[in-house]
Amino acid sequence: MKNKDALRKTVLARRDALPSRVRAEKSEQICIELAKELDALSTLFGQSAPFEQRAHGSICSGSLLVAVFSSMGSEVDLSPFVRTAYARGARVAFPCMIKNPAWHKATEASLSPEVAAPACHRNAACTPHEPYTPRNLMEFYEVTAEQFENGKAPFVERPLRSFAPDAEELDAFTHVAPGEIDFALCPLVAFDAANNRLGYGGGNYDAFLSCVRPDVRIVGVGFAEQEVPCGAIPLEPHDLPLPRIVSA
């Protein structure tokens, strides 16, 4: 964990040091490549999607469902690609952090004087008998072009904000299950030539990617300055490389 934290700190400092003009230019280049991916996927799905997928996936509506993310800090700005996706007729979904009722229940129980042991958090004390319970869960909600352009999606404007599961602010948005997504973009802190990915450490995308369809197009997104030598990213048995990473 310490090695991962040190690597994150180093790479994020390198990314933060990029001038805003350079980040904007590189973001534009990345978005152009992502648009090509979207066009290729649209052609592929339109011509060869199996019957089951056409019946149960987004193909039945004639629109691909694209999962993007709202850029934070010095991350790649995906706004040009998002607008291209809308222009191509795609549906677009953004991640939204939802407060985990199980975590809050466990926390309340740990504060009770009748409970001898505290609830488990992510640390070395966790064991298979004390599974890690995340404080928030990452869910996806569809955002229309009008909502995106007018800043009407609070989880897009403030991606780190967490919402109650029954928050009225989410009523205007359609929840999207991982299995509905056709094209998923993943943020990253660092990557290598073998497409291994180092994330921010929350495990949100690890959980998400374990639930998508086998035929989903998954692409990691980052700047060339975030690439590290092969072997630099500490890997665990469950870590799998991404199928593709687009960088500039």
Binding site for ATP, by residue number, is 197-205
Residue whose C-alpha is closest to residue 241's, from 198, 189, 184: 198
- The sign of the torsion formed by the CA atoms of 94, 97, 101, 103 equals positive
235 close to 19: Cβ distance less than 8 angstroms: no
Q: How far apart are CA 66 and CA 219, in angstroms?
A: 11
Distances (CA, A) of 246 to 14, 69, 94, 117, 230: 18, 15, 19, 46, 17
- The sign of the torsion formed by the CA atoms of 237, 70, 175, 136 equals positive
- The sign of the torsion formed by the CA atoms of 112, 118, 120, 122 equals positive
Task: Pick out the residues of the known binding site.
Answer: 197-205
Q: How far apart are CA 210 and CA 178, in angstroms?
A: 9
Residue whose C-alpha is closest to residue 66's, from 98, 22, 116, 31: 31
